Structure 1
Amino acid sequence: MALHWRKDWPQLLFAILVLQALYWLFLTPVFDPQTRPLERILPIAYEVATLASPDWDAVEAAQFEATDVPWEDCCEEGYRAFRVIFELDTVPREGIGEVPVVGADNYQAWINGSLHYGAGRMVLPDLTYHGRAYRGIHRLPAGVLNVGRNEITYILASHEGTGGFLVAEPTLGEYDQVVATFNLRRFLLNDYLQICTVVGFLVALLAFVAWARSGRQGYLFWLGMLSFSWAGMLFHEDWADPPIGGRLFMNAVVPLGVMIPAAWVNLSNNWAGRPLRFVLPLSMAGWLLCIAIFLIGNFLDPQNDAGPMALWAFSGAMAVLFAGLILWKMNWIARDRFWEAAIFLLLAVMSLRDYIGRIFDLNIGTQTDYALPFLLVALAASFLSRNIRLFRSAEEINALLQVQLDERTAELAVAHDREKILLSQQAHQDERRRIMADMHDGLGSQLMSMLLSARRGNADPAQYATGLQSAIDEMRLMIDSMDSVGESLAAALVLFRERAQARVLDAGFAFDWQQEPSAPLPQLPPRAVLQVFRILQEAVTNALKHSSGDSISVHVSAAQITISDNGDALGKVRTGGRGLDNMAARAGSIGGIFELERVGEMTVARLQLPGDDEGADTA
């Protein structure tokens, strides 16, 4: 990976220096501003206790012990109370502002026995993570403060293996001064990070869509993976009420966190061509190994450092490899990639800076999360601007070929459209006539009969209920018949079974379906399939209306379909009705035969199916 001198190095160096200067001299101070002077109220003592339950009664009964800050207790499940004691000579009129430094899955904050912060659920195991998601300023009202001794009590709750408990010295001062000092920090840690999360997911979506539509370019895929992993990490930090909890929830984000350095390396490897073959398998092997070490170590002993050390080692190796790949590729990149190279080199410097800060525990801040959305958007925009000419050329070629193809196929397309319109119009007219006939003969006659009975005073409520149920059944049958049932008889039977079973069970009947698996069903055209579907619907409706039994069975074979019920013998209401005539007519129209008969103790509606050729001819 040796560097060679190129004639346009000055232009590349200019882009690198300009971007580095813009970030470190102008953008970084925005994200890490100098805090305003604040007259702090210093705590005089700290106390800690173990609680039996997360409530104030348990706090009053607890035995507190003196401690110091920062205080940490890892990683058992349970409840703790941490007390911060401070004194006031006078009570500020606007109250006290408090910036807590609390690490727990969830917590409540009390001042002198009065609750002033609490969100979500505090009782194990149904615990939410509002304590880890909240990064704000508490206001301690003047009405609950005392001249002299005051106590802030944090009631802490944590799952096992989620990091335990941590409390550091809070920042206390007059409320207006605290807000003026920390307001920007509150915005950056809450609203701004939520904006970053949305930007990250949007860039990921854009990159994945472009990757899917541009020949599966590796650069776009890894840009999407990087954006998605980073946004997923931010989303995890703010997810206060996830569907899973405890150690499983905390470890679910590990693959995303380890993916970020791996995605950086593969993104740089696929940038500007000439990707090295060993980079992808090496980074993926390291990714899997790091995840395994982290998860196994965490489940065996949450307090061991094997997982974090593996992550730091992997991140450091990937940061060095990332920077090396960028420097190596600067040997041949074209001028239209100079600003992209400057962005990548800035990201490499930021990654190495964050890594060094973590290894040596340097308080240098981590502005990567704040700046990354700007850089990701810049990378996506530079890719689009660089490739827009290629997209335009491809579109011009496609347009020319499309014109030639349209000229040769215009007449065929016009004829096909005309025939399709005619067939659609005919089908619509046929369906309109069928619906009108069904409404007139079925629903209309039912409602007219009920109207005449009402006028003459010959019907009681039970008859009205029966008549209305019949009208509803007719309407349901008409609506169901308007749906598409599929192109084949097998598909139509699947849909019929689903609808019939739900309807039969809702009516209080038992439902049994038997189908001979080895019997091939006839291959009927779509219109014939629709007629079979409607016959079966009406047969089920007829059984539900008139059967005195409690069971309906369907049997399907290659030659026939039967619908049986264990009701009593055929009565007048089950024979000679319009529904039976319609079913017989529908069967005849496709070359089949419909019969209603009594077989033993069963009433059987039988549909003889037409053959393949016969069904095609008559449909």
Structure 2
Amino acid sequence: MQAWLRSGFRAGTALLLWCALAGAWAGSDLQVLNAATVTTTVAGRTQTEAVDLPYHWDRHQAAQPGVASFDLPFSLERQPDVPWGIYLARVGTSFSVELNGELVEANGSLAYSDGGDYAKIPRFIAVPARLLRPGDNLLRIRIRADTGRRAGLSAPVLGPASTVSADLFASAYAWRFSGSVLLAAFSLVVSVTAFALWLTQLDTSAADGRRREGVYLWAALAEFCWALRVADGAIANPPLPWVAWGVLMTACYSGWVVSAVLFCHHVAGWHRHASVRWMRWAMAVMFVGAVSSTWLSLARAEPQWLTGWLGFEIAGIAVYIGGFVLATVLRPNIARVLLSSVAVLTVLIGLRDWVVIRVSDSYGDTTWVRYTSVFFGIALLTIVVTRFRTASQQARELLATLTAKVADRERELAATYGRLERAAREQATALERQRILRDMHDGVGSHISAAIRQLQSGDAKPEELLRTLRDSLDQLKLSIDSIQLPPGDVGALLAALRYRLGSRFAASNIELQWAVDELSPVERLDAQAMRQLQFLLFEAISNVLQHAQATVLRIEAAMAGPALRLCVIDNGRGYDASSMPRAICERAAAIGAWLAVESRPGRTVVRLDID
């Protein structure tokens, strides 16, 4: 069976190659060199033999690492007058190319293993016309082969550089290198999109409503793994040693398969059943088995471990996809039909790749699943976007319902707030009325009561009675002024005091010295605190007018850093500072100000500091 496969694929490869060259062969000097003499050195043993190309290293040398030198003679009727080129569908791992004894191309090291892998992309080697000669010519290609890296040599094609480059190399390079880069970029975009949806979308069917939608996560992981796996086709020098890098690439491939299966599981709705637990265990075994078999294949140079495991994996996936297709037939929907079609195609292409790449002696072929996987990516993206649109529509409907409920609630709250606001205004008016009455009782009322007592005693002197009544009138005016005082504006408060009491100073023959700087607003002094401060200052000034017998009254106000300092200074007879009126002390404490008094004959200072 294996011999039949090998011969069949050799014939198929030759047929495909001749078909590819048919259009370029007519009227050109293209030559296909498919007969060579190879000298190999493996495990210290050197041997020479004649071979037909392509040459699959792992098949001929049982996957053992080594080096080889291929001699490929060819003849020309005349020396070309234009540059020629050499097309190599696959060569390496590392290689060098010599033409008639002169080096024309080298990639990687032939002396050391575990270096770069230059067999991943097709090669075009320009050849100056001067290196070619009429008659016999010799093309020598040396390679170094590492285990499991698909080393070997495909049949070189020689001819005019323009023909070889345009007709053979350009399309092959576009498929194997540019295609790999574009596919990796596409998968990465799909992965980022799905991951962003996973971060923002919740599974509304979950009991707590807080679990994220798993379908988006598995889509993101599948495409991310595939982006890394396909990108390997454009990486000649991996950042890890070969065995570790080979294991990582297999892990990416297996991660793509596992995530894709679990994605299908979510699309089918089976993730809500009890089967999800054993399914996850099965996928974990598949992933670990692929990684382990890869390590065994590469570390022990026994590729049959990975070949066997991949065959088992494809069979298992095929059984699962069969069940998925059956479920789709029984309960079809757009997502299931689309995913089933792509899954069947992908499994068939994966089986083809396994036979061609892992089982047959074919060399120079590349995997097809990297290209068909784009259909899976498109299907995956379509399903993800469709589910997102459905979820968004449900969210919009829910939002509309919530908006209507919120609007009703806002109207209710607005009505309640209106009632509360009216009640608050009425309460504020009542409190303000009570405050005015209290101030009038404590201030104006006490002064009028004192005047009445003076009249009732019969001993009241007219000037004392007049002073008491004036104090009462001034306090009444200040009570009215306090209603309109801006909160925190101490400068306006002092200006009002100066305006109201200026005539009293003049009538009492007291010189007013005004030393008030520009003051910053004191934010913590609200309307109530401003009234307390106003009456505190009035009490201090009233004491000077009534008792101090002063001739000079000085008002100082300035900012001391962030604090405000107020001073009332007179040159009167002084008094016992410890007997400061209780009303002044209480008002200072009420506004949280620091009060200091010093008094002696000729100088009395009442200082107030407000932070």
Cα distance in structure 1, aligned partners of 2:347 and 2:293: 26
1:144-293 aligned within 5 A: 144-159=131-146, 161-163=147-149, 165-182=151-168, 183-215=170-202, 216-275=212-271, 276-277=275-276, 278-293=278-293
Cα distance in structure 2, aligned partners of 1:336 and 1:44: 49
Cα distance in structure 2, aligned partners of 1:92 and 1:311: 49
- Give the residue type in structure 2 aligned to 1:178: V
- Aligned residue for 1:151, secondary structure, equals strand
Cα distance in structure 2, aligned partners of 1:65 and 1:348: 41
Counterpart check, 1:142 vs 2:129: yes
Gaps of 5+ in 2: 1-15, 203-211, 415-610
**Preserved CA contact (<8 Å) 2:296 2:305:** no
C-alpha deviation, 1:235, in angstroms? 1.6
- Aligned residue for 2:122, secondary structure, equals coil
1:470-619 aligned within 5 A: none
Cα 1:33–1:348 shift into 2, 3 Å: farther
Judge which range, 64-73 or 311-320, deviates more: 64-73
**Preserved CA contact (<8 Å) 2:346 2:372:** no
What's the CA shift string for 1:373-417, capped at 9, x where partnerless?
Answer: 24412431243134313213314534765794996999xxxxxxx
Counterpart check, 1:35 vs 2:31: no
Q: 1:105 — aligned with what?
A: 93
- Aligned residue for 1:68, secondary structure, equals strand
Cα distance in structure 2, aligned partners of 1:164 and 1:338: 37
Judge which range, 284-293 or 169-178, deviates more: 169-178
C-alpha deviation, 1:146, in angstroms? 1.4
Cα 1:44–1:157 shift into 2, 3 Å: closer
Cα distance in structure 2, aligned partners of 1:292 and 1:114: 44
- Give the residue type in structure 1 aligned to 2:374: P
Q: Please tell me whether Structure 1 or Structure 2 has the larger radius of gyration of its CA atoms.
A: 2
Counterpart check, 1:384 vs 2:369: no
What's the CA shift string for 1:349-396, capped at 9, x where partnerless?
Answer: 444554566687497985332232244124312431343132133145
Cα 1:343–1:307 shift into 2, 3 Å: closer
- Give the residue type in structure 2 aligned to 1:258: S
Cα distance in structure 2, aligned partners of 1:74 and 1:346: 32
C-alpha deviation, 1:33, in angstroms? 13
**Preserved CA contact (<8 Å) 1:343 1:379:** no
- Aligned residue for 2:302, secondary structure, equals coil
Cα distance in structure 2, aligned partners of 1:297 and 1:77: 13
1:116-131 aligned within 5 A: 116-119=104-107, 124=112, 127-129=115-117, 131=118
Cα 1:240–1:394 shift into 2, 3 Å: same
**Preserved CA contact (<8 Å) 1:265 1:319:** no
- Aligned residue for 1:133, secondary structure, equals coil
- Give the residue type in structure 2 aligned to 1:179: S
What's the CA shift string for 1:160-205, capped at 9, x where partnerless?
Answer: x454842232223343333343232221111122111111122122
- Give the residue type in structure 2 aligned to 1:46: A
- Aligned residue for 1:65, secondary structure, equals strand
Cα distance in structure 1, aligned partners of 2:17 and 2:187: 21
Q: 2:298 — aligned with what?
A: 298
**Preserved CA contact (<8 Å) 1:132 1:237:** no
C-alpha deviation, 1:125, in angstroms? 6.0
Q: 1:19 — aligned with what?
A: none
Counterpart check, 1:370 vs 2:385: no
Counterpart check, 1:82 vs 2:67: no
- Give the residue type in structure 2 aligned to 1:149: D
- Give the residue type in structure 2 aligned to 1:381: T
Q: 1:47 — aligned with what?
A: 37
Alpha-carbon RMSD across the aligned residues, in angstroms, is 3.8
Cα distance in structure 2, aligned partners of 1:154 and 1:402: 75
**Preserved CA contact (<8 Å) 1:103 1:164:** no
- Give the residue type in structure 2 aligned to 1:145: L
Cα distance in structure 2, aligned partners of 1:304 and 1:352: 17
Q: 2:102 — aligned with what?
A: 114
Give the length in aligned residue pairs: 369
Cα 1:345–1:314 shift into 2, 3 Å: closer
- Aligned residue for 2:20, secondary structure, equals coil
Gaps of 5+ in 1: 1-30, 53-62, 411-618
Cα 1:186–1:400 shift into 2, 3 Å: same
Cα distance in structure 1, aligned partners of 2:358 and 2:149: 20
**Preserved CA contact (<8 Å) 1:233 1:257:** yes
Cα distance in structure 2, aligned partners of 1:239 and 1:342: 32
With normalisation by structure 1, the TM-score equals 0.52
- Give the residue type in structure 2 aligned to 1:82: F
Q: 1:596 — aligned with what?
A: none
Equivalent residue in structure 1 for 2:81, among 76, 93, 97: 93
- Give the residue type in structure 2 aligned to 1:385: T
**Preserved CA contact (<8 Å) 1:108 1:115:** yes
With normalisation by structure 2, the TM-score equals 0.53
- Aligned residue for 1:109, secondary structure, equals strand
Cα 1:352–1:322 shift into 2, 3 Å: farther
Cα distance in structure 2, aligned partners of 1:251 and 1:340: 29
**Preserved CA contact (<8 Å) 2:254 2:286:** no
C-alpha deviation, 1:307, in angstroms? 2.1
Cα distance in structure 2, aligned partners of 1:137 and 1:117: 10
- Give the residue type in structure 1 aligned to 2:95: Y
Equivalent residue in structure 2 for 1:65, among 38, 41, 48: 48
| Percent of aligned positions that are identical | 17
Judge which range, 242-251 or 400-409, deviates more: 400-409
C-alpha deviation, 1:293, in angstroms? 2.9
**Preserved CA contact (<8 Å) 2:85 2:164:** yes
**Preserved CA contact (<8 Å) 2:93 2:152:** no
Cα 1:372–1:307 shift into 2, 3 Å: closer
What's the CA shift string for 1:508-544, capped at 9, x where partnerless?
Answer: xxxxxxxxxxxxxxxxxxxxxxxxxxxxxxxxxxxxx
- Give the residue type in structure 1 aligned to 2:285: A
Q: 1:394 — aligned with what?
A: 395
Cα 1:337–1:383 shift into 2, 3 Å: farther
- Give the residue type in structure 2 aligned to 1:296: L
Cα distance in structure 2, aligned partners of 1:32 and 1:343: 29
C-alpha deviation, 1:314, in angstroms? 1.2
Q: 2:307 — aligned with what?
A: 308
- Aligned residue for 2:327, secondary structure, equals helix
- Give the residue type in structure 2 aligned to 1:65: T
Cα distance in structure 1, aligned partners of 2:34 and 2:92: 23
C-alpha deviation, 1:260, in angstroms? 3.3
Cα 1:218–1:48 shift into 2, 3 Å: same
- Aligned residue for 1:192, secondary structure, equals helix
- Give the residue type in structure 2 aligned to 1:235: A
Cα 1:307–1:382 shift into 2, 3 Å: closer
- Aligned residue for 2:123, secondary structure, equals coil
Cα distance in structure 2, aligned partners of 1:66 and 1:355: 29
Cα distance in structure 2, aligned partners of 1:35 and 1:164: 22
Cα distance in structure 2, aligned partners of 1:190 and 1:164: 16
**Preserved CA contact (<8 Å) 1:104 1:158:** yes
- Aligned residue for 1:149, secondary structure, equals strand
C-alpha deviation, 1:210, in angstroms? 1.6
Cα distance in structure 2, aligned partners of 1:50 and 1:387: 58
**Preserved CA contact (<8 Å) 2:90 2:123:** no
